[in-house]
Copies of this chain bind each other. A is one copy, B any other.
Amino acid sequence: MIEYRNLRVALLGGGSVGAQVARLLLEQRDELAGRVGASLELVGIAVRDVNAERTVDLPKELFTTDAESLILGADVVIELMGGIEPARSYILLAINSGADVVTANKALLAEHGAELFAAADQVGAQLNYEAAVAGAIPILRPLRESLAGDRVVRILGIVNGTTNYILDRMDEAGDSLEEALASATALGYAEADPTADVGGYDAAQKAAILASLAFHTTVPLESVYREGITSVTPAQIESARKAGYVVKLLAICERFTDEHGVDGVSARVYPAMVPRSHPLAAVHGANNAVFVEAEAAGSLMFYGAGAGGVETASAVLGDLVSLARRHVAGGPGVAASSHAELPVFDIGSVMTRYAVTLEVTDEPGVLAEVASVFSDHHVSLALVEQSMTPAVAKTVSRAAVSATATLVIGTHDATEAALAATVRDLAANRFVTTVASVLRVEGV
């Protein structure tokens, strides 16, 4: 029997992820000790109410409401409470009292990451957070380590399982947004208040974390452009399907040089059309996937469960083992990357392609006029498709029916600013009845 030294592990939070982490730590104690070279002793679980119902049966004596004492007696603190405070204060307390930290708190990292990383750097503490993005999928460690010798160019991520489930239902079952959301709620994928998911806020937090890590810079949450899926219609999804595309809510992180020669980054979240042949198009249900384009490695994709208590617990334990191994090896933590402070571009500078659907009156010269609106703003066209809209309304006399047509226009790369100006002019154009849909196109 090998005698291992002991690492004292404190857990903050006993919810669905916390309870699974505790269970796995207790059940796999011997196996983990062998992998780490030290015993990982769970010394306590700080919760608000020690008598609350738990999803997992755990020894009563582990629970405490005294988080601070628990932290002060620990070598490693695992923060799974969520929210900003007191999570932020507890993590700072842990770092400053010499503990290493594992957290899955995306909201906290997106808003106060820079402060926490600086605090950890100052004392040489380790701060791991793999579980904060895309649940069980190992994406942060590959970005930080495996691609450390490469240059990441672009990330396209499906990082919110709830919205992917909803869009997938709309695409596969023809559900409306409301029906798909109801089904997501029934399955436990969506929370009672689904705003964080459907509004793209959750994805925006993850985009900020991914962009900061991938580009070795700081991308504040407030500089992440965000659109949710609430305006996505079945008609858009149907029209995308006909054209060979699927609509996905994407978190996009990109590094590029803008028209003024400035090197910077962009982080943004919006629903976009993705070609059905793209690997991201095959990500169904509540799964997550992160597609990474790097200069040397080319295209990579990381796929798996984006949420779930036990799945996320796997990522937390991976962080814990990794950090504990370094703890055992001695010496300071691994040197942090030097950070460039790259400018974060406004959405107006971002270049992408668009699919614009217009209802127009069916008269000679319409197409030429519409095309000239695009060219006025230097937006060049890749594709134009015209289809008749069936003339309607029995009660309207023949003479009163002015025939309308639907125009679907695909653009080449254009800036958001140029496209927005184009759409403004189109809406005011005498031939255009309605700008029915504007969707970005990614992954082509």
Contact = CB atoms under 8 A, between A and B. Distances in A.
A138 interface: yes
B325 A335 contact: yes
Contacts of A31: 151
B331 A28 contact: no
B146 A315 contact: yes
A101 to B, nearest CB: 16
7 contacts: A2-B338, A20-B296, A37-B338, A136-B296, A136-B300, A296-B310, A296-B313
Interface stretch (A92-100, A199-207, A301-309, A398-406): A301-309
Contacts of A279: 282, 303
Interface stretch (A316-324, A416-424, A435-443): A316-324
> By CB atoms of chain B within 10 A, which of A20, A28, A146, A329 has the most?
A146
A314 interface: yes
Interface in A4-57: 20, 24, 28, 31-32, 34-37
Interface of A: 2, 20, 24, 28, 31-32, 34-37, 130, 136-138, 141-142, 145-151, 216, 279, 282, 294-305, 308, 310-311, 313-322, 325-326, 328-335, 337-338, 340
Contact of A142 (B32, B141, B150, B305): B141
A311 to B, nearest CB: 5
A31 B342 CA distance: 14
Contacts of A334: 325-326, 329
Contact of A317 (B136, B149, B310, B332): B149
> By CB atoms of chain B within 10 A, which of A20, A145, A315 has the most?
A145
A150 B317 contact: yes
Contact of A145 (B310, B311, B321): B321
B331 A330 contact: yes
Contacts of A330: 331-332
B149 A314 contact: yes
B297 A315 contact: yes
Contacts of A298: 136, 304-305, 308, 310-311
B333 A148 contact: no
A146 B304 CA distance: 13
Nearest to A138: B146
B318 A150 contact: yes
Given A34-B216, A300-B305, 19 more contacts: A2-B338, A20-B296, A24-B149, A31-B151, A35-B149, A35-B216, A136-B296, A137-B300, A141-B145, A145-B321, A146-B318, A148-B318, A148-B322, A149-B317, A149-B318, A150-B318, A296-B313, A300-B303, A300-B304
